[in-house]
Amino acid sequence: MYLTDQVIQLAYDPGIKPNEGGLPGLPVLKHVMGSINLYGIIGSVGSLAISAGVWAWGHHSGGHQAEANGKKGVLVSSGAALLLGAANGLVAFFSGLGTQVH
């Protein structure tokens, strides 16, 4: 096999796969990422409650700007909670798609 053929073959498949346990500290990193995810979900719950309160206050006081901001806050908080809760599934899905690229 010529050198150019080997380089072309290497460009297609370098042979690198994710290796669990390749570096020390992986369980600690997983624990830290899980804790960050939990803090994000807790923050989403808090911001959802505050936004719902602003929405209700704006509605009952006639403050249309506050009502609109409360609605936006509820939608953003709900979307953030959705993405945080689905983070593992989304990463696994796109990682699986990435392994199918040739």
pTM as predicted: 0.72
pLDDT reported for residue 7: 58
Domain count within the chain: 1
pLDDT reported for residue 83: 95
Give the residue-averaged pLDDT of 52-79. Answer: 96
Residue 93 lies in a domain: yes
d(CA 68, CA 76): 12
Q: Go through 69-81 and write b for each residue having 16 or more CB atoms within 10 A of its CB, e for each that does not.
A: ebbebbeebeebb
| pLDDT bucket at 23, cuts 50 / 70 / 90 | confident
Residue 59 lies in a domain: yes
3-state helix, strand, coil in the chain (%, to 5): 80, 0, 20
Residue 18 lies in a domain: no
In this structure, which amino acid lies at residue 99? T
Residue 3 lies in a domain: no
Residue 21 lies in a domain: no
Give the residue-averaged pLDDT of 16-39. Answer: 86
d(CA 33, CA 20): 16
pLDDT reported for residue 5: 66
**Which range of residues forms the domain containing residue 64?**
32-102
Comparison of pLDDT for 20 and 56, the residue scoring more:
56
